Amino acid sequence: MAYDDAGIGPAIVFIHGYPFNRSLWTEQMEALTSRFRVVTPDLRGFGESEASEGPATMNRLAQDVGKLMDHLGIDKAVIAGLSMGGYVALAFVKQFPSRVKALVLADTRAQADTEEAKQTRVQQAEKAMNEGMAGIADSMLPKLLTPETVSKRPEVVKRVRDMMLKTKPQGAASALLGMAEREDLSEFISTIRVPAMILVGREDAITPVADSEKMHSKIATSHLVVLENAGHVSNLEQTEHFNFALVKFLDRVFA
């Protein structure tokens, strides 16, 4: 399992989404390492981490994160996840509640896939294995970013596409099957007692604002931030505003 570990202070573990890798969090790591210990793993099958056969369930990925924390001597951390990383973060807090200092949930949701969405994931898994990642990357890009970003910020488009192209087909397929299997945590989240911040891009087409509002209504300790002019990868499209909200939240957590 590949990871970066930098900075000194309270620990924050950032969990990337699908089909990305730990470089998703470069700007957040740069913004926080003067005051915090920031850990960014590549989930199994992504980035430089090895892939495994069979579904990479959210519980299994959460257990991987727990084992990495054990390896690094981190007992408790702020757990932050975007998209699929948010699914993993929620699976983590359900399995290891005593190890979570606070939660950051970005562009994600608590509910399980619909039957239609599950079938789409199975088809995408087959496509990844048979055709590689290029077709998946090209079909996903317009859904991940705002139209303005797609047309006016080629450096962001290239960065997101490059992350997707570097993803191992087996890793992508395993994660897709794992996401299709994930349990519905819509009711569980009402039991979360740690401080939580929910961030979402106003133009997120994959996990829209309504999904974040549902989580906010059920997590009594949560704070909701809607980022204007951002889609599903809000930390890249509105880095300054994302980081400002993140630092403000962490200041409250560690006050």
> 193 in helix, strand or coil?
coil
Average pLDDT over all residues of the chain = 97
Q: What is the pLDDT of residue 190?
A: 98
Domain count, the chain: 1
- Reported as a pLDDT band with limits 50, 70 and 90, residue 12 is very high
| Side chain identity, residue 123 | Q
Report DSSP state, residue 208: -
- Reported as a pLDDT band with limits 50, 70 and 90, residue 151 is very high
3-state SS record for 90-130: HHHHHHCHHHEEEEEEECCCCCCCCHHHHHHHHHHHHHHHH
Report DSSP state, residue 31: H
Angle (nearest 5°) at CA 201 between 10 and 165: 80
- Reported as a pLDDT band with limits 50, 70 and 90, residue 70 is very high
Look up the domain containing 22 and give its range. Answer: 3-253
The reported pTM is: 0.97
- Reported as a pLDDT band with limits 50, 70 and 90, residue 218 is very high
Residue showing tokens 């996990």:
207
Task: For residues 174 and 44, give the distance between their C-alpha atoms in angstroms, rounded to a whole number.
Answer: 9
Sorted by sequence, the CB contacts under 8 Å of residue 21 that are 6+ apart come out as 42, 46, 47, 48, 163, 166, 167
Q: How far apart are the first and last CA of the chain?
A: 33
Q: What is the pLDDT of residue 241?
A: 98
- The CATH code of the domain that includes 76 is 3.40.50.1820
Q: What is the pLDDT of residue 210?
A: 98
**Tokens matching residue 187:** 């009711």
